Amino acid sequence: MVLLGNFDQALYHVKISNTGLPLDNKDLHLANSSTTIANCNFYLESQLYYYQIKNVSLVDPFIFLNAGINCLALIKLKELIMDANKFGIKLDEVKAGSATRAAEILESANVSDETVAKFADVFGEVLRENRLFNADLHPTIAIGDDSNNWHPHTVFISFKVKTDAVTAANLYKTSVKRSIKRYGAMPDALHLSIEAA
Amino acid sequence: MPVTPQDLLDSAKRFDASKTNCEADYRACVSRVYYAAYHSAQEFHKNLSQPGISIAGCGMHKSFVNQLQYPGITKTDPDYNKSIEAGHYLKKMLFNRTTCDYDNTYTIAINSVTLAFADAELVFDAVK
């Protein structure tokens, strides 16, 4: 399973499609735009669309929840989950709980969604070079906190791609080396990796 | 002759949990592979001119990962980035090993073993 399209064209057309949207489905369109861009492994760009979502009651809960995890805007997603709870909107409890806990850990460590995206974009760059994308609906999130005696608390994010273990390890190595060269060590509350799905 | 990190890794390979189809073996193998990588990184760290920054309030393994991720040597030292890199891989290996050793509610499959071997090779390679 590989990406075949033209990434620049995808970015361009999503941008164009977001001009002059009717207000009644704007938020749904923003969530879908975010997903399209995140599926091309552009995280910062994807979050720009996701962050514009205002009224969660106008977006299918499945879409806004998965889109938020997909673009790794976990802190923004936590706000939307709180709004959804106020509206009585039913969500996947496991996913919503995990995303909320991840957001809490990042917030208490002063790690913004933008910072997560900055590091994720390096991994995304490597995945795009190899035309690979997440095998699941979104990157996988695991939590290290008091519940499993992990200190300092950490959000582990894995990009699971359909390839063999050796290729995945090489992509992981390339991403980590490039990320260190560009930005140094990741914040302690954040860990990114690539694995074979 | 004392045992080397490579001996530990080779032992884990000979153990070959993939043939046993037993989750307990998978868990044991992930743990053994972690220790091979841990000792490899420790040998590297011991030879640095300055130890990395440790943190209080966590276990010795997590503290060691921190020492690797936040080196005490200067940024111009070629081992500086190697240390951060090894620490990054070892952190996830430690997380997975902790799950295998302490969390029996979570199912460990053969892909966790494959991943542990792949990650261990990354640690060995980073500290060369």
CB-CB neighbors (< 8 A) of A159 in chain B: none
Q: How confident is the model at residue B54 (pLDDT cuts 50, 70, 90)?
A: confident
Selecting from A168, A180, A191 the residue whose C-beta is nearest the C-beta of B84 gives A180
What percent of chain A clears pLDDT 90, i.e. is strictly above it?
Answer: 70
The sheet with strand A140-144 has its strands ordered as: A140-144, A154-161, A190-196
CB-CB neighbors (< 8 A) of B89 in chain A: 172, 176
CB contact under 8 A, B119 and A149: no
* A4 has pLDDT over 70: no
Q: A182 in contact with B at a CB cutoff of 8 Å?
A: no
Residue B125: closest CA among B91, B96, B82 = B82
| pLDDT average, residue stretch A60-66 | 91
Q: How confident is the model at residue A18 (pLDDT cuts 50, 70, 90)?
A: confident
Residue type, B118: A
Distance from CA of A145 to the nearest CA of B (A): 11
Residue pair B87/A185 in contact (Cβ under 8 Å)? The answer is: yes
Instruction: Measure the CA–CA gap between B64 and B88, rounded to whole angstroms.
Output: 11
Relative to beta strand A190-196, strand A154-161 is parallel
Selecting from B81, B114, B122 the residue whose C-beta is nearest the C-beta of A173 gives B122
Q: How confident is the model at residue A2 (pLDDT cuts 50, 70, 90)?
A: low
Q: B124 in contact with A at a CB cutoff of 8 Å?
A: no
Distance from CA of A165 to the nearest CA of B (A): 7
CB contact under 8 A, A176 and B85: yes
What percent of chain B clears pLDDT 90, i.e. is strictly above it?
Answer: 77
| pLDDT average, residue stretch A91-107 | 96
pLDDT at position A3: 61
* A1 has pLDDT over 60: no
Residue pair A7/A129 in contact (Cβ under 8 Å)? The answer is: no
Q: Structure pTM?
A: 0.93
How many degrees, rounded to 5, is the angle at CA B3 between CA B2 and CA B9?
170
* A67 has pLDDT over 90: yes
Two structure tokens written together for A98: 């995990």
Two structure tokens written together for B65: 């990962």
Distance from CA of A148 to the nearest CA of B (A): 8
Relative to beta strand A154-161, strand A140-144 is antiparallel
Residue pair A70/A79 in contact (Cβ under 8 Å)? The answer is: no
